[in-house]
Amino acid sequence: MTTIKGRVRKLGDNIDTDIIAPGHTLQLPMEEMKKHAFEPIFPAFYKTIQEGDVIVAGKNFGCGSSREQATAVVKALGIRFVVCDSMARIYLRNCIGLGVYPILSQGISQLFEEADEIEMDIQRGGVKNLRTGEKTHFEPLSGTPLEIFEAGGILSVLKKRTEKKS
């Protein structure tokens, strides 16, 4: 079953890593770090999150630092999909490596408002707004990134390599 539904959490353009995981929170345990995620633009965002919520953002999501806490904290909040017009390169790699599915499609953010219900088909690359009925497409992960994602992330692949050798 590759069709997944979730509630949309709508964010804007250029949501950078200092917004997602502010520098002063990087040494905190994840349970504490979570409380500060998106704080500069949305204090106490974590209180409004439900498991399975889907971020829908504009362009250049995750621009900035390589800090993978910015991906890990999104996952820790219970978000498994980030849908956006475009995503910064290191953030995209971190999503693939840490197991947050990236859905990138130019203009996709225009189709959704806060709290809409989104339906995603990650095999066929389809996205639907269940409120408006509007649909669009994206290119599903393929090749090496898909292999890593399906293996459970880069550390699962690494774990297998260490076991093979020892």
Partner 1 sequence: MTIVEKILARASGRSKTSPGEYVTAKIDVAMMPENFRLIHGIINEAGIKEEAFHLWDPDKLVVVTDHRVPPTTQATAENQKLIREMAKKLGVKYFYDLFQGVCHQVMVEKGHVRPGELIVGADSHTTTYGALNAAATGIGASEMAYVIHTGELWFRVPETIKIQIHGKLQEGVHSKDILLLIAGKYGTEVAQYKAIEWTGSVIDEMSIDSRLTMGNMSVELGAKFGVFRADQKVMDYVKARTDKDFDPVESDPDDVYAEKYLIDGSTLEPMVALPHNVGNGVRALEVKDIKIDQAVIASCCHGRIEDLEIVVKVLKGKKVCPGVRFYVAPASWEVYKEALDKGLLSQLIEAGVMIGNPSCGFCTGIQGVLAAGERCIAATPRNFKGRMGSPQSEIFLASPATVTASAMKGRIVDPREVM
Residue ranges in contact with partner 1 by CB under 8 A: 14, 16-19, 22-24, 27, 39-41, 59-60, 63-68, 71, 86, 88-90, 93-94, 97-98, 143-145, 148, 153-159, 161-163, 165-166
Q: Which is nearer to partner 1, 1 or 139 (CB)?
A: 139
Q: Classify residue 24 by its DSSP letter.
A: G
Q: Which is nearer to partner 1, 5 or 89 (CB)?
A: 89
In the complex, what is the shortest distance from the CB of residue 122 to partner 1, in angstroms, rounded to a whole number? 19
Residue with tokens 């599915």: 101
Q: Which is nearer to partner 1, 16 or 116 (CB)?
A: 16
Separation between Cα atoms, residue 89 and residue 64, nearest integer Å: 9
Angle formed at CA 22 by CA 152 and CA 159, multiple of 5 degrees:
20
In the complex, what is the shortest distance from the CB of residue 13 to partner 1, in angstroms, rounded to a whole number? 9
In the complex, what is the shortest distance from the CB of residue 117 to partner 1, in angstroms, rounded to a whole number? 29
Instruction: Give the sheet arrangement for strand 117-121, strand by strand.
Output: 101-104, 81-84, 54-57, 3-10, 117-121, 126-129, 135-137
Q: Which is nearer to partner 1, 85 or 116 (CB)?
A: 85
**How many alpha carbons lie under 13 Å from residue 88 in its C-beta half-sphere?**
19
Backbone angles phi, psi at 55, to 5 degrees: -80, 130
Q: Which is nearer to partner 1, 92 or 127 (CB)?
A: 92
Structure tokens at 141: 């992960």
In the complex, what is the shortest distance from the CB of residue 124 to partner 1, in angstroms, rounded to a whole number? 21
In the complex, what is the shortest distance from the CB of residue 27 to partner 1, in angstroms, rounded to a whole number? 5
